[in-house]
Amino acid sequence: MGITAADVKKLREMSGAGMMDCKKALSETGGDLDAAVDFLRKKGLAAASKKAGRVAAEGVVVAVTEGNVGVVLEVNAETDFVSKNDKFLGFANALAALIIKENPADVEALKALPFDAELTVEQALSQLIATIGENMTIRRFARSEVDGTVAAYVHGGGKIGVLVGIEGDIDATLARGVAMHVAAANPRFIAREDVDTATADRERAVLSERAIASGKPEAIVEKIVTGQMNRFYAENCLLEQDFVMDTDTKVGKAIGGAKVVSMDRFQLGEGIEKKEEDFAAEVAAQIQGS
């Protein structure tokens, strides 16, 4: 299959590798993006394995709690100027309160709810768009209700929002500290038991091939891979990470007998791509000229 400039650009964002290395990886893997990321990692060319988009979009992330219920919500706008508009922020906060109260199943169900005595949420959004003159979208939300404590944290004036649900006895300040840790460390999973089999198997396969390719004796490859998998869990699982509030203590130890049962972290604009015509043209020229 043909390799497009968009494919190369996407792989570059996913892996952090160079443009031509990305083109070669896609050629070697028949255009399969996930396989291309693994190809780059095996060659030591990928800077990261996470697939989340890195392109920013404007708007705000709101995270609030009420009792043992909390919500984290992302509402997007076209410009940073609008993201600081009082009407826009008021709308986002009103939506968060509505989600806590009504517990809609998804964004479409939220849009159908009454926003006030006259308008539905969708109608109120349309009215706000007409008033401010900029397109806006309700992108996503997560609601957590637990038999315990729900902690919320917002960083950077709405650039990152975190919601953590914790069951058991835990101090509110410590719970907020865990939410702040999630904002800073961005764990992919709560515990190693939450890592799906496909992800674990894929990571192990990459590490194994890398160890073999480096010339390590087969007899010790398994030990090397086991050690590196433990490092993978320590880097990606919340409970095994060094707590940002006390780096000598793991998060799991810091919370004692309490149990983290939910974790949601929204970063404003992650996964939303904007047109970058100059970069796309540059990639296309590289491909055509090679």
Residue whose entry in the numeric block shows the structure tokens 């709101």:
62
Which CATH architecture group holds 1-55+273-290?
A: Orthogonal Bundle (1.10)
pLDDT value of position 48: 38
Listing from the earlier edge strand, what are the strands of the sheet with 58-66? 58-66, 69-77, 136-145
pLDDT value of position 279: 47
pLDDT lower than 50: segments of the chain:
47-56, 275, 277, 279, 290
Record the tokens describing residue 166, joined without a space: 């914790």
DSSP three-state, residue 159: coil
Cα 55–Cα 56–Cα 57 angle in degrees, nearest 5: 125
pLDDT value of position 277: 44
Cα 179–Cα 183–Cα 186 angle in degrees, nearest 5: 115
DSSP state of 29: T
Record the tokens describing residue 51, joined without a space: 């697939």
Task: Name the pairing type of β-strands 69-77 and 58-66.
Answer: antiparallel
Distance CA 250, CA 242 (A): 4
Asked if 195 and 236 touch (Cβ cutoff 8 Å), the reply is: yes
pLDDT value of position 169: 93
Give, for 225, the enclosing helix (H) or strand (E).
helix 218-236
**What are the boundaries of each domain within the chain?**
1-55+273-290, 58-189+256-267
pLDDT value of position 273: 66
Distance CA 150, CA 135 (A): 32
Q: Which residues pair with 155 in a beta bridge?
A: 160
pLDDT value of position 38: 85
Which CATH architecture group holds 58-189+256-267?
A: 2-Layer Sandwich (3.30)
Task: Name the pairing type of β-strands 136-145 and 69-77.
Answer: antiparallel
pLDDT value of position 74: 97
Residues 137-158: pLDDT tens digits? 999 999 999 999 999 999 999 9
pLDDT value of position 1: 58
pLDDT value of position 49: 41
